[in-house]
Amino acid sequence: MAVGLKALVALAPVAGVRVGTASAGIKKAGKLDLVVFELSEGATVASAFTKNQFCAAPVQVAKKHLAASAARYLLINTGNANAGTGQAGRINAIRCCETLAALTGVAADAVLPFSTGVIGEPLPVEKIETALPGALENLVADGWNRAATGIMTTDTLPKGVSKMVLIDGKPVTITGIAKGAGMIKPNMATMLSYIATDAAVDAARLQSIFSRAVDRSFNRITVDGDTSTNDAAILVATGKSGVVINDANGNQFEDAVTVLCIELAQMLVRDGEGATKFVAVVVNGGAVEQECLKAAYTIAESPLVKTALFASDPNWGRLLAAIGRAGIEALDVDLVELHINGVLIAENGCRAASYTEAQGVAAMAGEEIEIRVNLNRGAASTTVWTTDLSHDYVTINAEYRT
Amino acid sequence: MAVGLKALVALAPVAGVRVGTASAGIKKAGKLDLVVFELSEGATVASAFTKNQFCAAPVQVAKKHLAASAARYLLINTGNANAGTGQAGRINAIRCCETLAALTGVAADAVLPFSTGVIGEPLPVEKIETALPGALENLVADGWNRAATGIMTTDTLPKGVSKMVLIDGKPVTITGIAKGAGMIKPNMATMLSYIATDAAVDAARLQSIFSRAVDRSFNRITVDGDTSTNDAAILVATGKSGVVINDANGNQFEDAVTVLCIELAQMLVRDGEGATKFVAVVVNGGAVEQECLKAAYTIAESPLVKTALFASDPNWGRLLAAIGRAGIEALDVDLVELHINGVLIAENGCRAASYTEAQGVAAMAGEEIEIRVNLNRGAASTTVWTTDLSHDYVTINAEYRT
């Protein structure tokens, strides 16, 4: 059901990062469900976590460990989210970190834990502890593709991107993987993404670059507006390429990271539950970006707009109604222009004089839809990516337990 | 598909109000699609309109007429919403008012227009003008039941309530009808409700009573979070009972109006598109009502919660996740308690120790579900009513044109 999602290409190793995987038996026997990233000493780490206040135990522990120590290992399990598990969940997450730390000779707070899967069930700590030595034994530089499979839950395909950019004349590699969740597959509780580069970036600069990149990518996608208790994204910089990111080359590096994050984020949307359309909602002409975001998200999360998209129905009345309830201060509705895949649909508060139903039907026929709104009251703009709302979405979310 | 919605009982006439209906041919031939309310001279009128900035032409005109003059007629057509029709729509709405005014000898701004139906098509003014004399000819005091049918669009049943209350020892009648829309059936663009009483209430008092009643009823229901361009609710007080509402008896009158509005609002939810469950989301223990509302609406509008309700799945993880993203400042998640139909499901940030899956399945089995959340941080509370999200919702909204 994925919309335009391609098979995963071979991902490039990143010097200073090794990846190990194992089958711990949390998911069905034989399925990869445990992933370990080993980071070289001196690597810097930037992070972004769910804002959900019911955040899962591993999120709470990872945040504490990040604040306390330099990270040397990332430990990810799928099949169980260790969310909604209270104090026992935190103890279990810490115990997994301690076990990995003991096996590798680092401090327990040098391990960052991540979990994704069923909510509310106790984490099967013993299974993870039993499988960890195997994951460490097969640590390899080119383990990224196996890791992309190992972090999957209900994803239909593994997701990842590698980029090579020349900075100061020298090659820098950035590789990232993601699993589709966040607002997209939250019944399995999580969007996770792990990205690494061999550039050298001090921790403060890396965090500010990553925060902006996340805001323009993972924070610009939605399938149903629901957010997960376990969302996390990590960017590691090992420095092994010898290229140091500074004020002069920072923008070039940030652009590369941002594009990679957008590509990963779009893969998540394309694999959204029940998706039959990949939809970009572009809002231009806002007084400030925040009001563009309000309009874009109200459109992207409107069940009426999403069911119309599923039906390939150019129902511009629902789009105008969504803009009208987006909470934009003193909006002059007569100035609003609406295009779908380049066809002018509405202006002056009503259907465009030039518009024909045949144009609208043609514009909605494909799998890739661009809804473009011009508020015509300023220079701000934004883009949000989303999917339609299909029968399969209801089926997946109503019947996944059976 | 309506959940527990009963056949309409005989509605009581309200002295000072006559109701006429006609088939103008906007809907299928022979269907009632035109309703006229005639209000006695001196009647006071309170109102509530959609907050959608793309509000329809009749909403714009009705607001102007209310501000300019005492209302003598309400003119409602179904089958066409006269929304998304720009300047031409406003001209058409005014022309209908002028025609009714000429036929009855009142000023044009003594007529309030209302429309509901398809968005974006020109209002068939000639059909309305042709049918108006017939509607005026059959003006009768006991026309409420026909009016309840006449204002229907995709509603499966007509909706109305009558109440008799003794105020100062004398009988006061309140009768109201509604059609199911608002956030509920917005593809046909509207929740409409018309309520009248024979009590005497000055305009300012009537408006403040009605605003509070609407806030506790029509503004506490949601099916999909989408709001209509045409929503309107009207409360008329004719004074014909001779009972004058004042500071001493005001609360008793307001309680009766509020209960009637809640009953009408719940009928709209019970007839919500594709509904298989009628769900009350009760949030107690908030510091202020606003944060209770945030939690209640985030739960009520979460596609994941709604699909779980459709599946009769006691998926408490989705409920906790919805509370966690509701934007409640400094929420202590360990204090939150969650009950479904009286069964304690979660506390201390995790599943309740006493909870069993069998309890949860039994609690979710019926058609009537109460989700009760205690934030345990204050004395504020609120209730929101909603439905589940079913395959039929998608079918109705994706395929209604075909």
For residues A214-240, average pLDDT? 87
Q: Of chain A residues 179-238, which have a CB less than 8 A from chain B?
A: 186-187, 189, 224-229
Task: Using a CB–CB cutoff of 8 Å, tell me whether A83 touches chain B.
Answer: yes
Between the alpha carbon of residue A249 and those of residues A162, A173, B231, B361, the distances in Å are: 20, 15, 55, 58
**pLDDT per position as a tens digit, B238-284:** 999 999 999 999 999 999 999 999 999 999 999 988 889 999 999 99
Which pLDDT value is given to residue A273? 82
Nearest 5°: the CA angle B83, B88, B92 is: 80
Task: Using a CB–CB cutoff of 8 Å, tell me whether A99 touches chain B.
Answer: no
A303-310 and B391-399 helices cross at what angle (nearest 10)?
Answer: 70
Which pLDDT value is given to residue B182? 45
Prediction ipTM score: 0.82
Q: Locate tokens 């359309």: which residue?
A: A277
Between the alpha carbon of residue B36 and those of residues B26, B78, B93, B315, the distances in Å are: 15, 12, 14, 47
**pLDDT per position as a tens digit, B193-243:** 999 999 999 999 999 999 999 999 998 887 766 677 888 999 999 999 999
Q: Any idea which residues of A carry the catalytic annotation?
A: 190
Mean of the per-residue pLDDT values for chain A? 92
Residues of A in contact with B325 (CB under 8 A): 51-53, 226-227
Asked if A346 and A364 touch (Cβ cutoff 8 Å), the reply is no
Q: Is A186's CB within 8 Å of B391's CB?
A: no
Which pLDDT value is given to residue B188? 41
Which pLDDT value is given to residue B2? 83
Q: Is the pTM of this model over 0.90?
A: no
Q: Is pLDDT at A111 greater than 90 in this prediction?
A: yes
Q: Is A391's CB within 8 Å of B393's CB?
A: no
pLDDT band at B1 (very low <50, low <70, confident <90, very high): low
Task: Using a CB–CB cutoff of 8 Å, tell me whether B54 touches chain A.
Answer: yes
What secondary structure, in 3-state letters, does B160-214 show? EEEEEEEECCEEEEEEEEEECCCCCCHHHCCCEEEEEECCECCHHHHHHHHHHHH
Which pLDDT value is given to residue A402? 38
For residues B168-192, average pLDDT? 76
Asked if B287 and B378 touch (Cβ cutoff 8 Å), the reply is yes
Q: Is pLDDT at A289 greater than 80 in this prediction?
A: yes
Q: Is pLDDT at A189 greater than 60 in this prediction?
A: no
Q: Is pLDDT at A284 greater than 50 in this prediction?
A: yes
Q: Is pLDDT at A245 greater than 70 in this prediction?
A: yes
Tokens at A56, concatenated: 């899962």
> Number of A:B CB contacts under 8 A?
191
Residue A138: phi, psi to the nearest 5? -100, 25
Rounded CA gap, B377 and A261, in Å? 39
Residue of A397, A399, A400, A402 to mutate for B, most B C-beta atoms under 10 A:
A397
Residues of A in contact with B399 (CB under 8 A): 311
**pLDDT per position as a tens digit, A322-332:** 999 899 999 99
Q: Name which of A333, A334, A401 is nearest B313 (Cβ-Cβ).
A: A401
Tokens at B231, concatenated: 């929503």
Which pLDDT value is given to residue A297? 92
**pLDDT per position as a tens digit, B323-357:** 998 999 999 999 999 999 999 999 998 899 999 99
Q: Name which of B84, B186, B316 is nearest A120 (Cβ-Cβ).
A: B316
**pLDDT per position as a tens digit, A313-351:** 998 988 998 999 899 999 999 999 999 999 999 999 889
Which pLDDT value is given to residue A183? 47
pLDDT band at A186 (very low <50, low <70, confident <90, very high): very low
Q: Is B226's CB within 8 Å of A351's CB?
A: no
Task: Using a CB–CB cutoff of 8 Å, tell me whether B349 touches chain A.
Answer: yes
Window from A63-72, A309-318, B178-187 with minimum mean pLDDT: B178-187
Tokens at B383, concatenated: 């209730």
**pLDDT per position as a tens digit, B15-33:** 999 999 999 999 988 899 9
Q: Is B350's CB within 8 Å of A226's CB?
A: no
**pLDDT per position as a tens digit, B61-93:** 999 999 999 999 999 999 999 999 999 999 999
Residues of A in contact with B227 (CB under 8 A): 321, 325
A375 or B317: which leads in pLDDT: A375
Which pLDDT value is given to residue A274? 86
Q: Is pLDDT at B400 greater than 70 in this prediction?
A: no
Which pLDDT value is given to residue B317? 87
